[in-house]
Amino acid sequence: MKRIIILGSTGSIGRQALEIVQRTGEYQVVGLGARRDVDTLREQTPQFHPQVVAMTDAAAARRLRADISPQVEVLSGPEAMRELAVWGEADLVLVAVVGIAGLLPTLAALRAGRDVALANKETLVAGGALVMAEARRTGRQLLPIDSEHAAIMQCLRGELVSGVRRVLITGSGGPFLRRPLESLAQVTPDEALAHPTWKMGKKITVDSATLMNKGLEVIEAHWLFGLAAERIDVVIHPQSIVHSLVEFVDGSVKAQLAPPDMRLVIAYALRSEARVPLEAPRLSWDQLTLTFEPPDPARYPCLGYAYEALRIGGTMPAVLNASNEVAVEQFLAGGIGFLDIARSVRRAMDRHRPVAAPAVEEILAADEQARAHAATDLVS
Domain assignments of the chain as residue spans, ordered by start: 2-144, 146-260+280-312, 313-380
To the question of whether residue 122 is assigned a binding role by annotation, the answer is yes
To the question of whether residue 172 is assigned a binding role by annotation, the answer is yes
344 neighbors 374 (Cβ within 8 angstroms): yes
To the question of whether residue 146 is assigned a binding role by annotation, the answer is yes
- What is the model's pLDDT at position 140? 97
To the question of whether residue 2 is assigned a binding role by annotation, the answer is no
Residue 271 DSSP class = T
- Please give the sequence-ordered ranges of beta strands (E in DSSP) within the chain, or none if there are none: 2-7, 27-34, 52-55, 73-76, 92-95, 115-118, 142-144, 164-171, 232-236, 242-248, 253-257
Fold for domain 2-144? Rossmann fold (3.40.50)
Give the Cα-Cα-Cα angle 181, 183, 189 (nearest 5 degrees): 110
Of the candidates 261, 235, 262, the one whose C-alpha atom is nearest the C-alpha of residue 247 is 235
* Segment 308-367, tens digit of pLDDT: 999 999 999 999 999 999 999 999 999 999 999 999 999 999 999 999 999 999 999 999
To the question of whether residue 321 is assigned a binding role by annotation, the answer is no
To the question of whether residue 147 is assigned a binding role by annotation, the answer is yes
- Please state, in angstroms and rounded to a whole number, the distance separating the CA atoms of residues 116 and 93: 5
Ramachandran assignment for 172, one of left (phi > 0), alpha (psi -120 to 50 degrees), beta (any other) = alpha
- What is the model's pLDDT at position 195? 82
* The pairing of beta strand 27-34 with beta strand 2-7: parallel
Instruction: Please state the φ and ψ torsions of residue 97, each to the nearest 5 degrees.
Output: -75, 160
- Please state, in angstroms and rounded to a whole number, the distance separating the CA atoms of residues 286 and 292: 19
**Letter for the amino acid at 316?**
M
Beta bridge partners of 34: 55
* The pairing of beta strand 253-257 with beta strand 242-248: antiparallel
- What is the model's pLDDT at position 357? 96
**Letter for the amino acid at 269?**
A
- What is the model's pLDDT at position 379? 55
To the question of whether residue 201 is assigned a binding role by annotation, the answer is yes
To the question of whether residue 188 is assigned a binding role by annotation, the answer is no
To the question of whether residue 159 is assigned a binding role by annotation, the answer is no
The reply to whether CATH 1.10.1740.10 applies to domain 313-380 is yes
- Please state, in angstroms and rounded to a whole number, the distance separating the CA atoms of residues 280 and 294: 30
61 neighbors 76 (Cβ within 8 angstroms): yes
- What is the model's pLDDT at position 378? 61
Are domains 2-144 and 313-380 of this chain identical in fold?
Answer: no
To the question of whether residue 148 is assigned a binding role by annotation, the answer is yes
To the question of whether residue 202 is assigned a binding role by annotation, the answer is no
Mean pLDDT of successive 10-residue stretches along the chain, which has 380 residues: 96 95 93 96 97 97 95 97 97 94 97 97 96 98 95 94 96 95 96 83 91 97 97 96 97 95 91 75 88 97 98 98 96 96 96 97 96 75
To the question of whether residue 183 is assigned a binding role by annotation, the answer is no
* Segment 122-134, tens digit of pLDDT: 999 999 999 999 9
156 neighbors 224 (Cβ within 8 angstroms): no
Beta bridge partners of 164: 248
* The pairing of beta strand 164-171 with beta strand 242-248: antiparallel
Give the Cα-Cα-Cα angle 138, 117, 79 (nearest 5 degrees): 80
